[in-house]
Amino acid sequence: MHQGLAQFDAIVNWDHLYVGGGNARLLDQRDIGANATLVSNSNGLLGGLRIWDLHD
């Protein structure tokens, strides 16, 4: 997982990544690195909705 996220980070170059959904519950924070955070599915959905509020 860490290798895949490192490769994806090189392409996207995010400041901070929030990982949730699917099998993310099976991961440990140590698996995803310092610039990523594990979140619950509900937090991921609420964060996605919050993006739309920023444009109003």
Question: How many percent of the chain have pLDDT more than 90?
Answer: 11
By the 10 Å C-beta count (0-12 exposed, 13-18 middle, 19+ buried), 28 is classed as exposed
Which pTM does this prediction carry? 0.69
Residue 47: is its pLDDT beyond 70?
yes
Q: What is the mean pLDDT of the chain?
A: 84
Q: How far is CA 34 from the centre of its chain?
A: 12
**pLDDT band per the 50, 70, 90 thresholds, residue 56:** low
Give domain limits for the chain: 2-54
